[in-house]
Amino acid sequence: MVKISDIFTCKRCGYCCQGNTTVSLDQEDQENMIRTLRLSRDQVKTRYWRVTGSVVQMKTVDGHCIFYDEGCTVHEGRPWRCAQWPLHPSIVSDRNNFTTIAESCPGINREIGYEKFCEILLQLVKSGRIVC
Ligand code: SF4
Ligand code: SF4
């Protein structure tokens, strides 16, 4: 049976948590984060979110997500897009996406080659072990 570690092992480099914007949080992400932090919505919003119209992102501090501190400090409550990264479905549809993602994530196993990578990724999606 294929395993996630066949194609990806996080090196905890933190690269994906850097930048001056973050992924956006959908309604379920927001509820999950509130539950995980055990704070009120208003407290979470004030301390951790950047709200622009209907778009909710996490604040950034010193060029990284506010929750980044040598790893994700809100791991259980992180948005689904963070949990999905770097096994993004667009990898399968376009080899260039694989190259781009692999260049920004050292956890990607490039040794096995693109075709084999996609084969395993699709098996993982099919078996429900990763969400795409
Ligand atoms: S860039 Fe990749 S290896 Fe680095 S922390 Fe993010 S997921 Fe892990
Ligand atoms: S929530 Fe966690 S995984 Fe997502 S960007 Fe912030 S620190 Fe990184």
Beta-bridge partners for 65: 60
CB burial of 4-26 (b: ≥16 within 10 Å; e: otherwise) equals: eebbbeeeeeeebbeeeebbebe
Whole-number Å distance, alpha carbon 106 to ligand 2 midpoint, is 17
- Pairwise CA distance, residues 59 & 91, whole Å: 28
Summarised one tens digit per residue, pLDDT across range 56-78 is 999 999 999 999 999 999 999 99
From 74, 76, 80, the mutation candidate for ligand 2 (largest count of ligand atoms within 8 A of CB) is 74
Ligand nearest to the CA of 88: 1
* 89 vs 18, higher pLDDT: 18
Summarised one tens digit per residue, pLDDT across range 82-121 is 999 999 888 999 999 999 999 999 999 999 999 999 999 9
CA-closest candidate to residue 80, choices 10, 5, 7, 30 = 30
